[in-house]
Chain A
């Protein structure tokens, strides 16, 4: 049976407009053969989780450069659990200090990518860690 493509929602939660990274990651994942849905800017955690559920996503990638990462990642994880959709993996990136990364991973974030990351590393992560759920 042919496996269906892995579906990734790339999302920009919060109010900041720094979408350079999110767009590059969305395009790199698309070029690598994944199915990518980019939400656009200024999304609430509720909107992101609704999109992820509706699109039957396998993973959600959050890009946060506003310093609000602790709040936003926690809220997305919480809402996914509430919807019974916590099989959707959450990863992300942005300006995130090293000491916050530990806490976010404990909370359930699969991986965090900081400035200087190659898109190849992100593609590899998705390929090795995300599975298309049937």
Chain B
């Protein structure tokens, strides 16, 4: 005789839906994991609490990296900001700090992210557009004017030129008289995901990773509170991957850095505690919570079992999160406020350490001050009004969530084993494997969208014809000219022999395999520019050419 769930299905559920059919919608997660009508203890056969969950702050960290989680300290509310000239962003930074934000997060413009100064021909039209324009230390001085670096932590979203930005931040700390062991923050500095998804690069993967390892090694010795790399799934997801692919490729990138550092001869427990992560939080509420919990469990297990990590700090995964930019719609943009609120709650229930909430107007332009304020207030409402941070991992033990966490772990591990079989993540990138997987997933998603099989409120359902336009942030056209002129003037005022000497020292360090960071810190203090340093990288390491995959 049938028992338990099977009995219920036969006696109660089956006859009921036979007479009153369920809604004809796809019963699957955003990643395509089938969703059953009900989850019970039978979905967790063989599942042991002690092995799979354990306790917060203890292996395998499923329930959270810290023992008291948000009872001890709320997540860091960190709004990504940057546009125009450094002084424009400095004003926005100060505004956000006054509004109760607890950490800074810097968006750089495309020229800075690709290794060109504002006065370079390739920078035309792009200066200060997608982030703040930075060419030399003078721009950093302006960007952080009146912001003491020992009072805030700063995250910098910058990758192939992250070594330069880190050098400038350290040089600025010296100028402010702040010792390096008192500054905290995070460089994104995750080149592997650049080749997979975000696509900002200078040199091929091997040399790009070598510079990343230089920064990891340097920070673990000299800047102990700084996270030199933020291993990022965000861009992988935004490029169109599923949640499972995001989880798998991000962790595979992480293991790639661990391998590279070990090859350098670094002890795993000397650098792994400073590795941090960054995940996207998309629309599928439970899948996103499960993703963060699965990420912690996989990282802890692999770090201990494969890499022999001994310190707890090397095994516990800490992560920044951001609500999904791709989920925002240009149609009825105020609806994005609701999407962001739900995604932000998922990040908190998933145990994130830091969160950026997108502004509702970001699908149209850079956010206005009003839109950023609503986004920040959304986090403050979750923190202060909902009660969500009062207990640790409040959804832990839910049959559905635990089953989903297991499924995501299993599917991500299958990808990770496949990548290992290819010889590791760099080989996989060379062969275009993760790029192709993401392109395929993005195309599938788009076709679902086009056929109306994926409902997007305000876009393919509940459409409104006459929409009120939204007031967008406008950037002054003269801004670019002003910035270009000031960079040119600064360059003309330098001692060019000194600049040449620094660039030669850098080229020697690049060729000789010495850590580039000490040379870079000296170079930026002499106002050697980001573009000039990137030119050395281009000359010594060569340019990366992407495989054309679509």
A75 neighbours in B (Cβ, 8 Å): 125
Is B442's CB under 8 angstroms from A24's CB?
yes
The answer to whether the Cβ of B138 comes within 8 Å of any Cβ in the partner chain is no
The answer to whether the Cβ of B122 comes within 8 Å of any Cβ in the partner chain is yes
Q: Give the residue of A16, A19, A72, A97 whose beta carbon is less than 8 angstroms from that of B364.
A: A97
Is A38's CB under 8 angstroms from B550's CB?
yes
Q: Interface stretch among B61-69, B108-116, B278-286? A: B108-116
Q: Give the residue of A15, A18, A38 whose beta carbon is less than 8 angstroms from that of B116.
A: A15
Is B469's CB under 8 angstroms from A98's CB?
yes
The answer to whether the Cβ of A71 comes within 8 Å of any Cβ in the partner chain is yes
Which residues of A68-115 are within 8 A (CB) of B? 68, 70-72, 75, 95, 97-98, 114-115
Q: Is the interface on chain B under 10, 10 to 19, 20 to 34, or 35 or more residues?
A: 35 or more
Q: Chain A nearest CB: distance from B371 CB in Å? A: 14
Give CA–CA (A44, B439) in the complex, Å: 24
B126 neighbours in A (Cβ, 8 Å): 14-16, 66-68, 71
B239 neighbours in A (Cβ, 8 Å): 19-20
Give CA–CA (A21, B328) in the complex, Å: 15
A44 neighbours in B (Cβ, 8 Å): 122
Is B129's CB under 8 angstroms from A67's CB?
yes
Please, how many residues of chain A have a CB less than 8 angstroms from a CB on the other chain? 35
Chain A proximity mask over B353-366: 1 for CB below 8 Å, otherwise 0: 00000000001111
Q: Interface stretch among B22-30, B208-216, B443-451? A: B443-451
A22 neighbours in B (Cβ, 8 Å): 550
Q: Chain A nearest CB: distance from B303 CB in Å? A: 30
Is A27's CB under 8 angstroms from B330's CB?
no
Given known contacts A20-B442, A120-B450, A66 and B550 CB-to-CB distance under 8 angstroms: no
Which residues of A9-51 are within 8 A (CB) of B? 14-20, 22-24, 26-28, 30, 38, 40-42, 44
B326 neighbours in A (Cβ, 8 Å): 20
Closest chain B residue to A118 by CB distance? Answer: B450
Give CA–CA (A67, B130) in the complex, Å: 7
The answer to whether the Cβ of B331 comes within 8 Å of any Cβ in the partner chain is yes
Is B113's CB under 8 angstroms from A24's CB?
no
A114 neighbours in B (Cβ, 8 Å): 330
A26 neighbours in B (Cβ, 8 Å): 550
B439 neighbours in A (Cβ, 8 Å): 23, 27
Is B443's CB under 8 angstroms from A24's CB?
yes
Q: Give the residue of A16, A95, A98 whose beta carbon is less than 8 angstroms from that of B110.
A: A16
Is A20's CB under 8 angstroms from B240's CB?
yes
The answer to whether the Cβ of B181 comes within 8 Å of any Cβ in the partner chain is no
Is B472's CB under 8 angstroms from A97's CB?
yes
Which positions in B face A, CB cutoff 8 Å? 110-111, 113-114, 116, 122-126, 129-130, 194, 198-200, 238-240, 326, 329-331, 363-366, 439, 442-443, 446-447, 449-450, 456, 459, 469, 472, 475, 546, 548-550
- Contacts A23-B442, A116-B329, A119-B450 aside, 18 further interface pairs with beta carbons under 8 A come to A14-B126, A15-B114, A15-B200, A17-B194, A23-B443, A23-B550, A24-B443, A27-B439, A27-B443, A28-B446, A41-B546, A66-B110, A66-B130, A68-B125, A71-B125, A97-B364, A116-B331, A120-B450
What are 23 A-to-B residue pairs whose CB atoms are below 8 Å?
A15-B110, A17-B200, A18-B199, A19-B239, A20-B239, A20-B240, A23-B442, A24-B240, A27-B443, A41-B199, A42-B199, A44-B122, A67-B126, A67-B365, A67-B475, A68-B125, A71-B125, A71-B126, A95-B363, A97-B364, A114-B330, A115-B329, A119-B447
The 4 closest A-B pairs by CB, nearest first: A71-B125, A17-B199, A67-B129, A15-B110
